[in-house]
Amino acid sequence: MDVLTQLAHGFAVALTPLNLALAFAGAFLGTLIGALPGIGPVNGVAILIPIAYALKLPPESALILLAGVYYGAEYGGRISSILLNVPGDAGAVITTLDGYPMAQKGKAGEALALSALSSFIGGTLSVVGLTLFAPLLAQWAIRFGPAEYFALMVFAFTTLASLAGRSPVKALASSVFGLMLATVGLDPGSGVPRFTFGQLKLYDGVDFLIVAIGLFAISEVLVLMEQTFLGRGGAIRVETTLVSLKTFLASLWSILRGAAIGFFIGVLPGAGASIASAIAYTTEKRLVDREGTFGQGDPRGVAAPEAANNAAAGGAMVPMLTLGVPGSGTTAVLLGALMMFNVTPGPLIFQNRPEVVWGLIASMYIGNLMLLVLNLPLVGVFARILAIPRWFLVPAIATLSFVGVYAVNNSAFDLLFMTGIGVWGYLMRKFGFPLAPMILGLVLGRLMEVNLRRALAISGGDWGILFSSPIAKVLWILALLSLFFPWLVGRLAKAR
Amino acid sequence: MNPDRAVGILLFLLAVGYGLEALGLEAEYLADPLGPKAFPLLLAAVLLGLSLLMVAFPGPGAWPGFPAWARQGVALLSFVVYAYALVPLGFVLASSLEVGLLARLLGAGWAKGLAAGFAFALALYLTFVFGLGIPLPLGAWWPG
């Protein structure tokens, strides 16, 4: 089996001491970042990129660390959902519905243990899915020409727009902001400086990293500044984290269904962990909630969304790695990180950089095992970390952002630019513009323009080439459908 | 005015300004039929359309409140000062003061915030410089 040999090579990469240590660091920091309300996986990954970069890690090692933070955060998010009724990150919102009632009934340890197992099963199954599915998708996508790529990227923007916020118009505008920012700098085709206003600093383009940290971390700090935090969060003691075999077996089908739903939703561009867990929960509610116990501390209501959000994190890696088109804010940041390390994801990555993809995939099997250990016996440690007072946490995020950005170029200008982008991101949030499309636009902008220009160079300037092949046609139709999807759902819901 | 409509007008102006700047782009030689301005013009057109949609069909939203604008303003000002003070003051001192100030803004006492800031900044400095080998400014006042 070709896949198994490749995977074995991947394990050879992932099992080197450095990469094992980085997978562990990623899993640990991810759980921590997920557990702390206020910092989600995007912020965590963005803040860690400059550190990975300044350490001059090889690309596969950097990706192992950063991806570990990403899927680790989906484990950690459940802790404060269950214990405090405050979701640790967006993917864990649904977990509060049955997790907190379980804790109120004195079953916090059981809820934490069951959700850790669900996370592990969901996470691991999705890595199996990634192993089997990603090479196939890459083989299929190898036939994509520039026109198909352009259509694919449009599709990614429209699905993200229809799912990312309440207003598709604002989400699309947000992606245009990112695309516009990506046009700053020397034009890749002709060498003409564009939108640089004579500033030599801008000739190389806008630094992706500074925008990512400013947009997510600094704007988050500004949002958190809106409240004062006088009291300190009480330390929570978690005694035993055990779940009975009976409860586990009763939830097993919910876990497996949640994992399948999560993986497929994760693969879709635009839909991430939060949507996956919501759909898994409503599915379980319809299928198995005969006694109406969902919402009152039903273990299955904890198991399904936790399996789904972890599976979605693995699923989201599929389009990012094989197509080079990420489907969510965090995978867009991961893609931007890979580009900083001179690795271009896409169908050729399996041939050109097998050590990066297979090393990552192998490390995800190992990382999920580490996360199970971190989140079962050691969950009490993370529960105690929730007691870190906010008045310290917020300045700490700000300082970490400063260090990260400063460490890359040692430039005060970068710090000011990051602050400016932070204000922009804060205003976007206040006026209801989602941030993820903007970062996706910034990451994909160059690629989108290059593919458009290549397509029209092939056709000699005829725009019809964009819609000529069957694959491109299907992608354009899907893009249109996804744009009208929320409107259609709204109509159908009304019709009932 | 409806906030969406106001934002729509601003985005309209942004699209026009960006589009005009793009119109002025000329390449000395053309390597491809589109040249440097086609993609930016396309983006300007899309944003123009979106901004008109926002003006024509604004959401029901109310103006967002900025209850903490003074606190946020002080914080932003401190970020600017931090950018300039980082090299002369050094990382540990600048960051201790920054954490102390932000903690104060968030409701903690000066002493508590500065102490926590100093401990955190020192730990970060040691981790970065000695653990990770990433240099951070020590400060111009440091002897030697």
Helices (H), A85-200: 95-104, 108-141, 146-164, 168-182
The residues near B45 (Cβ < 8 Å, ≥ 6 apart) are: B15, B19
Q: Chain B: nearest CA to A226, how far in angstroms?
A: 5
Residues linked to residue B92 through DSSP beta bridges, in sequence order = none
Record the tokens describing residue A399, joined without a space.
């300082």
Q: Which of A190, A412, A456 sits opposite B83 (nearest CB)?
A: A412
Provide the residue-wise pLDDT of chain A in tens; the chain has 496 residues.
588 899 999 999 999 999 999 999 999 999 998 888 777 888 889 988 988 888 888 999 999 999 999 999 989 989 888 888 888 788 888 999 999 899 888 888 889 999 999 999 999 999 999 999 999 999 888 889 999 999 999 998 998 888 766 788 999 999 999 999 999 999 888 888 999 888 888 888 888 889 999 999 999 999 988 876 654 445 466 667 778 888 888 899 999 999 999 999 888 876 778 888 988 998 898 888 888 888 888 999 999 999 999 999 999 999 999 988 887 788 999 999 998 888 888 888 888 888 899 999 999 999 999 999 988 888 888 888 888 888 898 999 999 999 989 988 888 899 999 999 999 999 999 999 999 899 999 999 999 999 999 999 999 889 999 999 999 999 999 999 888 877 777 777 766 5
Identify whether residues B73 and B39 lie together within a single domain: no
User: B98 in a domain, yes or no?
Assistant: yes
Identify whether residues B101 and B125 lie together within a single domain: yes
ipTM of this predicted structure: 0.94
Q: Which of B80, B84, B134, B138 to mutate to test the interface with A (most CBs of A within 10 A)?
A: B134
Identify whether residues B103 and B52 lie together within a single domain: no
Q: Which of B36, B64, B87 sits opposite A190 (nearest CB)?
A: B36
For A446, name the nearest residue in chain B, comparing CA atoms only: B39
Q: Chain B: nearest CA to A431, how far in angstroms?
A: 7
For A422, name the nearest residue in chain B, comparing CA atoms only: B76
Q: Across the interface, do B106 and A402 touch by the CB < 8 Å criterion?
A: no
Helices (H), A431-461: 436-459
User: B125 in a domain, yes or no?
Assistant: yes
Q: Which residues on chain B are in Cβ contact (under 8 Å) with A432?
A: 59, 61
CA pair distance A90, A312, nearest whole angstrom: 13
Identify whether residues B41 and B9 lie together within a single domain: yes
Q: By the 8 A CB rule, do A248 and A449 touch? A: no
Say what the pLDDT of residue B122 is: 95
Q: Across the interface, do A173 and B47 touch by the CB < 8 Å criterion?
A: yes
User: B63 in a domain, yes or no?
Assistant: no
Say what the pLDDT of residue A105 is: 86
What's the domain range around B10? 3-56
Say what the pLDDT of residue A229 is: 60
The residues near B31 (Cβ < 8 Å, ≥ 6 apart) are: A189, A190
Identify whether residues B125 and B94 lie together within a single domain: yes
Q: Is the dihedral of CA A399, A400, A406, A407 positive or negative?
A: positive
Q: Which of A194, A415, A426 sits opposite B40 (nearest CB)?
A: A194
Structural domains in chain A (count): 1
Say what the pLDDT of residue A363 is: 95
Q: Is the pLDDT of residue B92 over 50?
A: yes
Helix axes A2-14, A354-375, angle to 10 degrees: 70
Q: Which of A51, A173, A395 sits opposite B11 (nearest CB)?
A: A173
User: B143 in a domain, yes or no?
Assistant: no
Q: Which residues on chain B are in Cβ contact (under 8 Å) with A457?
A: 32-34
Q: Which of A431, A447, A456 to mutate to test the interface with B (most CBs of B within 10 A)?
A: A431
Q: Which of B32, B82, B120 sits opposite A396 (nearest CB)?
A: B120
Q: Across the interface, do B113 and A391 touch by the CB < 8 Å criterion?
A: yes
CA pair distance A306, A250, nearest whole angstrom: 15
Q: Which residues on chain B are in Cβ contact (under 8 Å) with A52?
A: none
Q: Which of A218, A228, A416 sits opposite B106 (nearest CB)?
A: A228
CA pair distance A416, A411, nearest whole angstrom: 9
B134 touching chain A per CB within 8 A: yes
Identify whether residues B47 and B75 lie together within a single domain: no
Q: Is the dihedral of CA A178, A179, A182, A185 positive or negative?
A: negative
Say what the pLDDT of residue A415 is: 94
Q: Across the interface, do B27 and A187 touch by the CB < 8 Å criterion?
A: yes
Structural domains in chain B (count): 2
Q: Residue B58: how many CA atoms within 13 Å on its side-chain side?
A: 15
CA torsion angle A38 A40 A42 A43 (round to 10): 40
Helix axes A108-141, A95-104, angle to 10 degrees: 160
The 10s digit of each residue's pLDDT in B17-66 is 999 999 988 877 777 888 898 999 999 999 999 999 999 999 887 898 88
- Tell which of B56, B79, B95 closes a domain: B56
Q: Which residues on chain A are in Cβ contact (under 8 Å) with B30?
A: 190
B123 touching chain A per CB within 8 A: no
What's the domain range around A112? 2-495
Q: By the 8 A CB rule, do A391 and B108 touch? A: yes
Angle at A255 between CA A265 and CA A70, to 5 degrees: 55
Cβ contacts below 8 Å, chain A against chain B, sum to 184
- Percent of chain B exceeding pLDDT 70 equals 99
Identify whether residues B44 and B92 lie together within a single domain: no
User: B142 in a domain, yes or no?
Assistant: no
Identify whether residues B96 and B122 lie together within a single domain: yes
Identify whether residues B121 and B92 lie together within a single domain: yes
User: B140 in a domain, yes or no?
Assistant: no
Q: Across the interface, do A228 and B107 touch by the CB < 8 Å criterion?
A: yes
- Tell which of B56, B81, B99 closes a domain: B56
Q: From start to end of A354-423, where are the E strands? A: none
User: B123 in a domain, yes or no?
Assistant: yes
Say what the pLDDT of residue B93 is: 95
Identify whether residues B50 and B76 lie together within a single domain: no
Q: Which of A229, A426, A452 sits opposite B106 (nearest CB)?
A: A229
Say what the pLDDT of residue A297 is: 87
Closest CA to A103 of A321, A273, A316, A296: A296
Q: Chain B: nearest CA to A222, how far in angstroms?
A: 6
